[in-house]
Amino acid sequence: MVDQEKKGAGLFLWTKHEKIKKGEVECELKKLLGNDVVKFKCEPPIIHVVCKTLNDAEVLLEKGFRSGFKNSGIISIGKNIVVEIHGTEKLEFPVFRRGKVLVSLEFLEVVRGKSNKKLEKGWEMIEKILLKI
């Protein structure tokens, strides 16, 4: 992820929705060395659901909270009632700046393991909410 104020084109330089393999972060970083500041970012699951009624939205939110999605809410009550189910576990830090790597390969391996665990936890939370619906 490039360090910039707003979302837009070129913000995410490499994305992945599967577990990160050993050496994969290092390999991708080598491709990104021309950028000014690059961050590593691991995001929790975010799910948007359009509900027919406010009651349906409230029920879905309760199931989401019980499944571990603590950062959730109704984000629109206009033409559609939209619920955002959002996890809380994230990880973000700069990896290099002005061509200089700021972290060690050993640190990136620790981060890779933690990110993979967060990904697994997100999958488990999604499975829980699907079982409750």
The Cα–Cα gap between 97 and 2 comes to: 10
14-58 per-position pLDDT tens digit: 888 899 999 898 888 878 777 778 888 999 999 999 999 999 999
Q: Tell me, yes or no, if the pTM score tops 0.75.
A: yes
Distance of CA 109 to the CA centre of its chain: 18
Contact 63, 133 (CB under 8 A): yes
Length of the chain (residues):
133
Give residue-wise pLDDT tens across range 82-105. Answer: 999 999 888 999 988 887 888 998
Q: What is the dihedral of CA 13, 18, 24, 29, to 10 degrees?
A: 20
